[in-house]
Amino acid sequence: MSQKSVQSARDIIAKALESSTNPCFTCSFQAEDVAILDLLRRQRPDVTVLFLETGYHFAALIAYRDRLASEWNLNLVNMEALQPVAVQEDEFGKLYEIDPNRCCSLRKVEPLMRSIANYDLWITGLRREQSPTRANLQPFDTHRFPDGRTLAKVSPLYDWTTAEVFAYLVANEIPVVSLYSEGYTSIGCEPCTAKPAAGEHARSGRWGGSKLECGLHTVSVKES
């Protein structure tokens, strides 16, 4: 694990927090997010940790989330859709099968947009290596949302490799969710997550390969 990479992430976090009075971190409890979470809580222990509770997550991920939230005393906020899963399925059917874009919009994008309106800084676990759609990611960006709001968006691990992420976790004796040992490399809602084919990028197993993004990071437009 490169100490230069770790220090760079620490510096990015520190610089971002300097100008923020109310930051939030959207955390999926995947490996990169947990690495950031560890770095972040050392500088801002009370930072708001936002988790999208879609109702479709793997049970193992929810158990892991709850374990870390308890052990690290996280200021965890679970964001939820306006409709419970059962109500949505009664009205529209299993959208993750027939219209995954709409399902993501209802269960991820809308709850996030409603929640981050309360914050002045959005910290993410995005990395360039994750997929082709993220290859040009920058550590600091300003994004404009459909309602006209702008928000600073920071990705401290933007240039980290997967190997560096896991090396950091090992070095700091931080466990990862058990799904990685089963062969998953990018973990989202259970019905929409598969193990990638050999040689494919980490997110290739999402949505049956029909798309790479749920909309959380494409609903806004980068201004700078």
- Give every strand in the sheet of 23-26, ordered side by side: 75-79, 48-52, 23-26, 121-123, 150-154, 140-144, 221-222
Residue at token pair 């947009």: 113
CB atoms < 10 A from the CB of 190, how many? 16
Which pLDDT value is given to residue 120? Answer: 93
Which pLDDT value is given to residue 224? Answer: 56
Q: CA 12 from chain center: how many Å?
A: 17
Average pLDDT over residues 121-126: 92
Residue 51's domain spans which residues?
Answer: 3-217
Whether residue 163 is contained in a domain is answered as: yes
Active site includes 214?
Answer: yes
Whether residue 152 is contained in a domain is answered as: yes
Whether residue 224 is contained in a domain is answered as: no
Whether residue 42 is contained in a domain is answered as: yes
Sorted by sequence, the CB contacts under 8 Å of residue 147 that are 6+ apart come out as 113
Query: Mean pLDDT across the chain, nearest whole number?
Result: 88
Average pLDDT over residues 36-45: 96
Whether residue 177 is contained in a domain is answered as: yes
Whether residue 223 is contained in a domain is answered as: no
Which pLDDT value is given to residue 186? Answer: 86
| pTM of model > 0.85 | yes
Find the catalytic residue in 104, 189, 192, 214: 214
Q: Can you name the residues that pair with 25 across neighbouring β-strands?
A: 49, 123
Whether residue 43 is contained in a domain is answered as: yes
**Tens digit of pLDDT for each residue in 158-196?**
999 999 999 999 999 999 999 999 989 889 999 989 887
Average pLDDT over residues 144-149: 79
Whether residue 222 is contained in a domain is answered as: no
Number of structural domains (the chain) is 1
Residue 121: CATH number of its domain: 3.40.50.620
With 60 as the cut, is the pLDDT of residue 215 above it?
no
